[in-house]
Amino acid sequence: MSTTPDLPTTDLEMRVAEAVAAIRQRTPLVPQVGLTLGSGLGGVVDAIPGATIFHTRDLPHWPASTVQGHAGRLAVGTWCGVPVAALSGRSHRYEDYTLDKVTFAVRVMHALGARTMIFTNAVGAIHPELKPADVMLATGHLNFIGKRGLFTPGELAERFAGRPVADLYSPALRALLLDAALQAGVKLHQGVLMGGHGPTYETASEVRMAARLGAHVACMSTVHEVTLAAHLGCEAASLSCITNKATGISATPLTHHEVTEVANEVAGKLRGVLEKYLAARA
């Protein structure tokens, strides 16, 4: 349970402000980059030397992380010369959270100062050329998780007035990450991310449908986070760890243990890419 009592407010801006105030009580650091780390990838948080670590359960209004492989920690510190905020333990729509809660961390990191957001995730391969332990940089996404409740009334009015960005996945940031991967000796595939509601894995029929729609990989997060980050004016990117072949492509049933096991193995690749990227912008 939170050590700070939840205040009786439904105002999203107020909730964000209260979480930011709790963080500011322990660190004045203004992060430039916000990192959200997916299943099995939370160990990257430990790479940030001298970071101020928060258990998200102790921050006001923060939704509890209930999924194995999502530890519920927020690190604020300097990594490779760049101030960052790194979240290990995102929340998911399938945990019965509304999207304003699922994307709460994005709003908090933005309010802390981050204007670059990099999301990592564990995914199942839909494209036949992708295999476990590969890493993919998203060029776009298919959102089957939804957008209802993602934006405030004011933000909805802005969106109705015109499209805020041409490409949710910043081409400039993608280019920098491709260069960083080259320096780190990590091959980055590129493709389209499909976000599904979960918590069950897609059926073979759904995977065939997704392939025909142009998806290369499938996950249960990220697409709404990127959508919000871009709307808030951030450069956004997604790095996917392929942990398995999707249902109907894989010859064996899928398990969450399989996902986290491969993600743990690939964490070193992602850490290498992120370190080269941060060092280049320091």
Catalytic choice (19, 105, 122, 184) = 122
The whole-angstrom separation of Cα 161 and Cα 179 is: 36
Is 70 in the active site?
yes
The whole-angstrom separation of Cα 230 and Cα 106 is: 10
| Tokens 């980050």 found at | 229
Is 256 in the active site?
yes
Catalytic choice (18, 19, 22, 39) = 39
Is 94 in the active site?
yes
Is 194 in the active site?
no
Is 244 in the active site?
yes
Catalytic choice (19, 75, 88, 95) = 95
The two tokens of residue 126 are: 């839909």
Q: Which of 282, 275, 273, 79 is nearest to 185 (CA)?
A: 273
Catalytic choice (220, 236, 246, 267) = 220
Catalytic choice (22, 51, 70, 184) = 70
The whole-angstrom separation of Cα 12 and Cα 111 is: 12
Catalytic choice (71, 256, 261, 265) = 256
What Cα–Cα distance (Å) separates residue 106 from each residue in 99, 172, 233, 255? 11, 20, 12, 28
Is residue 67 within 8 A of residue 39, CB to CB? The reply is yes
DSSP 174-222: HHHHHHHHHHHT--EEEEEEEE---SSPPPHHHHHHHHHHT-SEEESSS
Q: Which of 61, 62, 84 is nearest to 72 (CA)?
A: 62
Catalytic choice (218, 235, 244, 246) = 244
Is 221 in the active site?
yes
Is 240 in the active site?
no
Catalytic choice (19, 61, 85, 92) = 92
Catalytic choice (47, 64, 94, 155) = 94
The whole-angstrom separation of Cα 162 and Cα 142 is: 20
Is 13 in the active site?
no
Q: Could you give the residue numbers annotated as active site?
A: 39, 70, 92, 94-95, 122, 220-221, 244, 256
